Structure 1
Amino acid sequence: MTGASRGLGRIAAEKILRDRPDVHLVVTARGGTLGGDLAESTGNPNVTALTCDLMSKNAVRAAAVDLAGRLDSGALPPLHGFVGNAGLQLTSRAHATEDGIEPTFAVNVLANHLFVRLLWCRFTAPGRIVLVGSDTHFGDLRHNLGMVPAPRWEPVAELARPRPDARTATDGRRAYSTGKLAVLYLVHALARRLPDGIDAYTFNPGYVPGTGLVRDAGPAVRFLSRTLLRALTATPLAMSAASAGALLAEAAVGPRPGESGVYIDRRTVTPSAPASYDRDREEELWHGLCALDPVEML
């Protein structure tokens, strides 16, 4: 599981550890004491933390190699799932990772693809891959409250390329919504490729104010997210981190939610945006991601 250090991911990780003592949870973190903290807070020692910076392809590869070694040696039980929860939203599209990739795309799309592809041969049925999406991929007022512009699809190489001229918050938020559309394409591509018994799903928690997603935003936006916008959790327009985390845990380890490839909107399987069902784009994304990092399965 990625993104388990804070927000709904932390809540989901703790719920899995409390409710499913039969599950050994592996989490990624850039450093610190996440594994020990989760074990202490839940009373369940079945948690392992791997060091990984999701912005770095080398770091993702190293974490996957580490995990594969532990699986093969029997130090960890068989691998039955992957939860790609980590998410990033920036106030521009001008930044670059050490690999020259736009960071939003690197974290929200490429890292998930890399982890799953590297560990492909280690997944054991019944298995489940859950990638966290967003209803911002719809690109309309009803789904994004006017806060995030609609996605704008481009060739994969362009989506991954930093844009030094794209320095506004609108540019950064559009990169986010477009990346979340890419998550749906990735899940659909996975559902066609994964072996029998391994499912892939997109989970949409809806708008969850007060999380670390807006940590790159200005002080005013961060303040609103912590205060006024939290009031929206009393309405259907938003969900608390506690509620969203519980639903993510259910999507990850609960009863099978539906056929592989479906979109789970909070707790309901429902169609995603019409634009998210485009097989040509799905295949373009898959092959484009493979071209960005042509690694072999471990």
Structure 2
Amino acid sequence: MSTILMTGASRGLGRHAAEHLLRHHPDRHLLVLNRRPGLAAELTASTGNRNVSEITGDLASFADIRRAAARVDRPLDGFLGNAGLQVRSTLKATADGIEMTFGVNVLAYHLLLNLLLPKFTAPARIVVVGSDVHNPETNTLGLVPPPRWTGPRELARPVEGGPEDGRRAYATSKLGVVYLVHALARRLPEGVDAYTYNPGLVPGTSLARDANPVARALFAGVGHLLRATPIATGPAEAGRLLAEVMAGPRPAESGAYISRGEVIPSSAESYDERREEQLWADADELCGLGGTSGERRRSA
């Protein structure tokens, strides 16, 4: 039986995506990675599908990620990386001393996917959720400052910063996701594809839960106003689209950027192979992989 490993399935569009997969692709086993136990039972109760299991682990801990990856005891033909966060400043750190936003949104996926690569059996698909905030031209009405790429080692350092720095770190991490997927696509074996998926603006999620009350109210108010416009997508529809990119027909060539179900170019800045390869090399060292993952790069 084919298996999809998914992060970020507990709430918001991720919860809707998980339930859609269980309801509309019942032949696929869904293995959820979550910080707390009990999510698999909740998903079975809400969908009636018992074809779901769970592994507990925190993406803000490299040790947890390694333990979780070691517990995956079945071949994978899918990976859906939906978990991500936005925090108030750039001072908060992971268990390994990495700036929290960059650590969870980028480095956690680098480590987890490299540990899981031997378990993928073609045809297989890897989808990591990005965001249109990585692109200054589509950057959520200016509510999130545009990304500022200063290099992986600099971005990994916790530094004092205010709310704007925290939001900018989020946008920069989503640019890092695109770089990571491009570099990954060059290393995957034939028949294993990788994509960045942009769900667009999805009001009603808890992404801004770490913001101060004024910022949360601002995001909630803008989101409410945009719900009836084409700019926004509701969590249920966003989850459905994400699930179908994961489990539906092959959407595009590996490495593509898919926005709300449509294959489009990502930002001009996101096509930079030098940055992509530097991210891969630095992420290997920061995650304790020792550079071994780079040896899997496919020849051009």
1:14 lines up with 2:19 in the alignment: yes
SS at match of 1:53: coil
TM-score after normalising by structure 2: 0.92
Q: CA offset at residue 33 of structure 1? A: 1.1
SS at match of 2:164: helix
Between 1:195-204 and 1:226-235, the stretch displaced more is 226-235
Amino-acid identity (%): 57
Runs (4 or more) in structure 1 with deviation over 2 Å come to 220-228, 294-297
> Is contact 1:3-1:87 (8 Å) kept?
yes
SS at match of 2:150: coil
In structure 1, what is the Cα distance between the partners aligned to 2:234 and 2:201? 9
Cα deviations across residues 19-53 of structure 1 (Å, max 9, x unaligned)?
01110001111113101000111111111111011
Cα deviations across residues 87-135 of structure 1 (Å, max 9, x unaligned)?
1001100111120001101111111111110011110111000000001
Q: CA offset at residue 227 of structure 1? A: 4.9
In structure 2, what is the Cα distance between the partners aligned to 1:226 and 1:45? 35
Query: What is residue 3 of structure 2 aligned with on the other side?
Result: none
In structure 2, what is the Cα distance between the partners aligned to 1:43 and 1:224? 38
For these two proteins, the number of residue pairs brought into alignment is: 286
Query: What is residue 297 of structure 2 aligned with on the other side?
Result: none
Cα deviations across residues 156-202 of structure 1 (Å, max 9, x unaligned)?
11111100x22x11000110000000000001001110000000000
SS at match of 2:71: helix
1:160 lines up with 2:125 in the alignment: no
Equivalent AA in structure 1 for residue 23 of structure 2: R
Identify which of 17, 37, 41 aligns with 1:36.
41
> Is contact 1:55-1:106 (8 Å) kept?
yes
The 1:225/1:210 distance shift into structure 2, 3 A limit, reads: farther
Equivalent AA in structure 1 for residue 186 of structure 2: R
> Is contact 2:139-2:146 (8 Å) kept?
no
SS at match of 1:96: coil
In structure 2, what is the Cα distance between the partners aligned to 1:200 and 1:43? 30
Equivalent AA in structure 2 for residue 130 of structure 1: V
Query: What is residue 116 of structure 1 aligned with on the other side?
Result: 113
In structure 2, what is the Cα distance between the partners aligned to 1:242 and 1:291? 38
Q: CA offset at residue 294 of structure 1? A: 2.6
Query: What is residue 244 of structure 1 aligned with on the other side?
Result: 238
In structure 2, what is the Cα distance between the partners aligned to 1:32 and 1:119? 21
Query: What is residue 64 of structure 1 aligned with on the other side?
Result: 69
Equivalent AA in structure 2 for residue 47 of structure 1: V
Q: CA offset at residue 230 of structure 1? A: 2.5
In structure 2, what is the Cα distance between the partners aligned to 1:41 and 1:237? 29
Query: What is residue 98 of structure 2 aligned with on the other side?
Result: 101
> Is contact 1:210-1:225 (8 Å) kept?
no
In structure 1, what is the Cα distance between the partners aligned to 2:70 and 2:219? 38
Identify which of 140, 147, 150 aligns with 1:151.
147
In structure 2, runs of 5+ residues without a counterpart are 1-5, 294-300
Q: CA offset at residue 233 of structure 1? A: 2.1
SS at match of 1:119: helix
Equivalent AA in structure 1 for residue 98 of structure 2: I
In structure 2, what is the Cα distance between the partners aligned to 1:34 and 1:53? 14
> Is contact 1:150-1:174 (8 Å) kept?
yes
Identify which of 46, 49, 52 aligns with 2:51.
46
In structure 1, runs of 5+ residues without a counterpart are 72-77
SS at match of 1:4: coil
